[in-house]
Amino acid sequence: AVYENGCATGTASTGIAYAMEQKKNAVLDLAQPGGIIRVEADYDNVLDKVSNVKISGKVRFISTEECLSSGVI
- Let me know: does 8 contact 32? Beta carbons within 8 Å: no
Q: Would the pLDDT of 11 be above 70?
A: yes
Q: Would the pLDDT of 20 be above 70?
A: yes
DSSP state of 64: H
Average pLDDT along the chain: 85
Whole-number Å distance between alpha carbons of 16 and 27: 10
Pairwise pLDDT comparison (62 vs 11), residue with the higher score? 11
Residue 63: phi and psi, rounded to 5, are -70, 160
